Amino acid sequence: MININEVESMTPYEYEIRMLACQLKRLDREFNTHMQAWATRQIKTTKGKKQEPYYKDFKQFFDYEKREKEILGLSLIDEQIDDATIDLLRNVNK
């Protein structure tokens, strides 16, 4: 967007959507950078006498899904709540 009139005429919802798109685009660039670093490291890796890489797989090096959830605002805590915790919260809120 170059025209300031377009920016001024955006609704708050449209602004949020554009900002989210910008963050996701940045995440893709971050992923590509990490993938390049990972590939470079894998090429230089040698076996023997404990010269193994620190990260065994790419997901340990860069967790794309985790970063995407952070950007999208999805709670990682929601995925970790078990049934006992849900029952406890229900009892407290009665």
Q: pLDDT by residue (tens digit) across 17-38?
A: 888 888 999 999 999 999 998 8
How distant, in Å, are the alpha carbons of 38, 43, 69, 91 from that of 61? 8, 15, 17, 40
**2: which 2 tokens?**
């170059």
Q: pLDDT by residue (tens digit) across 31-63?
A: 999 999 888 877 676 666 666 776 778 888 888
Number of domain units in the chain: 1
Q: Which domain holds residue 11?
A: 4-92
pTM score over 0.75: no
